[in-house]
Chains A and B, each alone.
Chain A
Amino acid sequence: MSSHDPTDGTDRSTTVPTPSCPPGQSHRARPQADEEFSAFYRENIRPVTGFLINHGASVHLAADIAQETMTDAYRNWDRITHPKAWVHKAASRALVRKVASVEDPVDDVPEPTSLVPRPDAIAEWEAQHDALDLIRSLPAKQRQVMAWTLAGFTPTDIANHLGMPTENVRANLKKARRTSATYLKAREEEQ
Chain B
Amino acid sequence: MTRHPDSNPQDQAAHHWLTQHQHTLTHALDDLLDVEAGLREILLHSHHDTATENLDTVLDTEAGLAAILPAAPQTPLAPTRDTPRHHAGATERLRRLTPADRLDLRNHPNVKAASRALGHALAGTRDLDRVLDLTSIQTHSRVRSRVLALALDLAHDLARELELDLENDLELDLALDLDHDLGHDLGVNHDHALDLAHEITRACELAVELADDLALDLADDPDGALANDLLDLARAHDLHRALDLALEIALNRTRDLGLELIVDIRTAEVGRAVGLALHQELPALDKDSLHTLLDDFTTADLSDADLTDIDLSGVRWSEHTTWPPTHDVEDLKTRSDENPPGGGTWVVRSGTTTIRDLAER
A residues apposed to B, CB below 8 Å: 6, 23-25, 27, 30, 34, 37-38, 41-42, 45-47, 49-50, 53-54, 59, 63, 67, 70-71, 74-75, 114-118, 121-122, 125, 128-129, 131-132, 135, 146, 149-155, 174, 177-178, 180-185
Contact = CB atoms under 8 A, between A and B. Distances in A.
Given A46-B29, A114-B41, 15 more contacts: A45-B35, A46-B33, A49-B33, A50-B29, A70-B38, A115-B37, A116-B34, A118-B32, A129-B21, A131-B21, A149-B1, A149-B2, A152-B1, A181-B14, A184-B14
A131 B18 contact: yes
A50 B35 contact: no
Q: What 3 A-B pairs have minimum CB-CB distances, sorted nearest first?
A: A115-B38, A131-B21, A181-B14
A146 B18 contact: yes
B35 A46 contact: yes
Contacts of B35: 41-42, 45-46, 115
A49 B22 CA distance: 11
Given A41-B38, A45-B38, A131-B21, A116 B32 contact: yes
A131 B46 contact: no
A45 B21 contact: no
Contacts of B43: 34, 37-38, 74
A114 B40 contact: yes
Contacts of A116: 32-34
Nearest to A24: B50
B13 interface: yes
B10 A185 contact: yes
A111 to B, nearest CB: 14
Contact of A121 (B8, B18, B31, B39): B31
A27 to B, nearest CB: 8
Name the residue in A25, A50, A129, A154 with the highest tally of chain B Cβ atoms < 10 Å from its Cβ.
A50
A75 B33 contact: no
A88 B24 CA distance: 19
A49 B2 CA distance: 20
A122 B33 CA distance: 10
B19 interface: yes
B34 A129 contact: no
26 contacts: A23-B46, A24-B46, A24-B53, A25-B53, A34-B43, A41-B35, A49-B29, A49-B33, A59-B32, A67-B41, A71-B45, A74-B43, A75-B46, A114-B37, A114-B40, A114-B41, A115-B33, A115-B34, A115-B38, A115-B41, A116-B32, A122-B32, A131-B17, A131-B21, A132-B25, A181-B14
Contacts of A115: 33-35, 37-38, 41
Given A129-B21, A177-B15, A181-B14, A114 B34 contact: yes
Contacts of B3: 154-155
B11 interface: yes
A63 B13 CA distance: 29
Nearest to A59: B32
Contact of A125 (B5, B13, B31, B41): B31
Given A41-B38, A150-B19, A50 B26 contact: yes
Contacts of A184: 10, 13-14, 17
A151 B45 CA distance: 28
A177 B39 CA distance: 35
Nearest to B48: A24
B14 to A, nearest CB: 4
Contacts of A122: 32
A91 B18 CA distance: 21
Nearest to B37: A114
B50 A129 contact: no
A122 B43 CA distance: 26
Contacts of B37: 114-115, 117
Contacts of A41: 35, 38-39, 42
A3 B282 CA distance: 64
A180 B46 contact: no
B30 interface: yes
B133 interface: no
B25 A50 contact: yes
Contact of B39 (A38, A125, A149, A152): A38
Contacts of A53: 25
B49 interface: yes
B28 interface: yes
Nearest to A150: B22
B2 A181 contact: no
Nearest to B9: A181
A91 B22 CA distance: 17
A77 to B, nearest CB: 10
A65 to B, nearest CB: 12
B61 to A, nearest CB: 18
Given A42-B39, A154-B2, A185-B10, A180 B17 contact: yes
Given A59-B32, A116-B32, A121-B32, A74 B50 contact: no
Contacts of B34: 114-117
Contact of B28 (A24, A25, A129): A129
Contacts of B11: 177-178, 181
